[in-house]
Structure 1
Amino acid sequence: MNANELRDKTPDQLREELANLKKESFNLRFQQATGQMENTSGIKAARRSAARVKTILNEKAAAAAGDA
């Protein structure tokens, strides 16, 4: 999911997306630890997606603080 799609979402939807990404990241790390992982690039993609969501959340919070 790209940043433009994330900017269209509400903060609650972004928090839900972040929770899902953290669960996915945990599951991928668990697969790697047990030797079941086939595609190791998934860990990097999940981390970057979570960081992207956090960045958009921070942007929205800063914009809300600036408006108030």
Structure 2
Amino acid sequence: MNAKELHDKTPDQLREELVALKKEAFNLRFQQATGQLENTARVRQVKRDVARVNTVLNQKAAAAASEA
């Protein structure tokens, strides 16, 4: 997922995406702790996606605040 795709989404869609990513991150951490995780690179990818979504949400909130 790239930032350009995220900029096209509404804040509600971004929040839903954030919840889904956090659930996935939790599941990946659980799999890693139990030794069942096969793709360890996915943990890093999900963490970065969470950061991207948070960044875009904050940018949209700042833009909305400056317009008001």
CA distance in 1, matches of 2:14, 2:54: 8
Distance in 1, matches of 2:20 and 2:53, equals 11
Q: Does residue 17 of structure 2 align to residue 17 of structure 1?
A: yes
2:5 alignment counterpart: 5
C-alpha deviations, 1:8-45, integer Å up to 9, x for none? 00000000000000000000000000000111111100
- State the distance in 2 between where 1:28 and 1:46 align: 9
- Could you state the TM-score of these two structures normalised by the residue count of structure 2? 0.99
Q: Which amino acid aligns with 2:30?
A: F
Structure 2 counterpart of 1:6, one-letter code? L
1:52 Cα deviation after fit = 0.1
Gap regions ≥5 residues in structure 2: none
- Unaligned segments of structure 1, at least 5 residues: none
- TM normalised by structure 1 equals 0.99
- In structure 1, distance between residues paired with 2:39 and 2:7: 29
* Aligned alpha-carbon RMSD (Å): 0.3
Q: Percent identity?
A: 71
Which residue does 2:42 correspond to in 1?
A: 42
Shift of 1:65: 0.3
